[in-house]
Amino acid sequence: MLNDILERAVLQGISDIHIEPRQGNTVVRFRQDGILKEVSRYKYGLDFHERLMNKIYELSQLEVSRFGWLSDSSFTATIMGKQIFVRVSSIPIPHHASGFEESRSSQASIVLRLLYRKNQGITPLPELGYPDESVTTIEHLLRIPYGIILMAGPTGSGKTTTLYAMMDIIRRKPVKILAIEDPVELPLDGVIQVEVCRDRNVTFANAVRTFLRQDPDVILVGEIRDQETAEESVRAALTGHLVFATVHANTAAEVIPRLMNLGVDMDQILSCVKGCIAQRLVRKLCPKCRRHITDPSEYMDPDDYRKAYGDLFDESGFWVPVGCTECDEGYKGRTVLWEMLIMTKNVKEHVQKTNGFIESATAMDLCHQKDMQKNAIDLVRQGITTIAEVELFVPISRTLGELL
């Protein structure tokens, strides 16, 4: 049964498989293009659920007696001729909440993250959705000999994929690139990749500290999540290395206070931070069946529309999903929704005046870049995505903006 679930997931290019005990059933859900959908509900009782969990635990080299523990592991599987790296996360559900009345112990709820390592090439920045002018700006940033460039966004927003696209550009030069990741998602030729292993004291911070004795030119830090990693990453940038890292922040401007919260000194931020990129992934409209709307009354009440969107789409109109045999409910694939803060002289002066707590639109104007809201409007006008899709991440309507 596990092989069947994995085969269906690989066929559809699924990123995550959720296997959950619910009301005495085993529910399987797939996440595709960011959307989670139920695909199967197995009504075979406790024995079926435990056998499925046992198989996953066996492959992950976890003890089946640890159903009641929080567990993280991984395994590699060959599915339909493709080698898939599977990250496993398991949480315990008490027997009275799982719905398995005959159970007297906790049952595991598992998420499998599928990484298509050997089958997935590096996607260039334009194919990710970055326009030519933004790619040119990023390429200018990559020529900087030292400093730190930060990628911001929530889990699953494609930060690592974008960083890999940048590494693909840099690795063409005669440089030494070292990376510390958790885990290594895609092997990169020309990049020395190290994987976090806390049992062996291989942490982000310890790795960066050791990297400095490896004569690197470029260092990639999978995530800055604590003060020690932040300090070591900044120290590497201040000592003549080009550092790339991800952080959890909602906007490019929020990266600055995030670093401050992690204990990085303002003077160090101004000295070493060269650029911050924030991104999300939005679903793209299917080009075969999307429908162009020029009369807003086809979409919503005209008065409500005018109150929410004013004249934003009067000239361009906008598109809505329809659905056909070539797509999933009118959407096909995803693209980036982004913003990029360049630490120009004007931006640095503004950061100092505001003590780091800068407003996103103001910061973008100071470095002559569009904020995420303006880029979202452009994507809608171009028919790449929909109003509803971008508003999952950024408000473009006045009414939603007032609520946030």
- Percent of the chain surpassing pLDDT 70: 98
Residue 288: per-residue pLDDT:
96
Give pLDDT, residue 402: 53
Task: For residues 322-332, give the mean pLDDT.
Answer: 93
| pLDDT for the residue numbered 120 | 64
Distance (Å) of CA 257 to CA 159, 254, 354, 365: 19, 6, 10, 19
- Whether 1-116 and 125-402 share one fold: the answer is no
**What is the pLDDT, as a whole number, of residue 119?**
55
**pLDDT above 90: percentage of residues in the chain:** 82
Q: What angle, 0 to 180 degrees and rounded to 10, lies between the N-to-C axes of helices 227-238 and 204-211?
A: 20
Question: Is residue 401's pLDDT more than 60?
Answer: no
Model pLDDT, residue 399 = 66
Q: Which residues pair with 107 in a beta bridge?
A: 93
Q: Give yes or no for residue 102 having a pLDDT over 80.
A: yes
| Dist. CA 387–CA 393, nearest whole Å | 11
Residue 67: its pLDDT value, please? Answer: 79
Reported CATH class of domain 125-402: alpha beta
Residue pLDDT, tens place only, 228-255 = 999 999 999 999 999 999 999 999 999 9
What is the enclosing helix (H) or strand (E) of 201? none
* Mean of per-residue pLDDT scores for the chain: 93
Q: Are 32 and 13 in contact (CB under 8 A)?
A: yes
Q: Where are the domains of the chain?
A: 1-116, 125-402
37-51, 106-120, 234-248: which has the minimum mean pLDDT?
Answer: 106-120
Lowest mean pLDDT among 4-8, 79-83, 175-179, 205-209: 79-83
Q: In the prediction, which pLDDT does 68 show?
A: 82
Q: Rounded distance, CA 55 to CA 62, Å?
A: 10
Give the model confidence (pLDDT) of 204-232 as tens digits: 999 999 999 999 999 999 999 999 999 99
CA distances from 266 to 222, 277, 347, 396 (A): 23, 19, 13, 32
Could you say which architecture CATH assigns to the domain 1-116?
2-Layer Sandwich (3.30)
Task: Give the pLDDT score at 404.
Answer: 45
pLDDT surpasses 50 at 159: yes
Section 142-157 average pLDDT: 95
**3-state class of 152 per DSSP?**
strand
Residue 181 has a pLDDT of: 96
pLDDT level of residue 291 (50, 70, 90 thresholds)? very high
pLDDT given at position 281: 97
The pTM score is 0.88
> What is the pLDDT averaged over residues 150-176?
95
CA distance 207 to 154: 23
**pLDDT given for residue 391 in this prediction:** 94
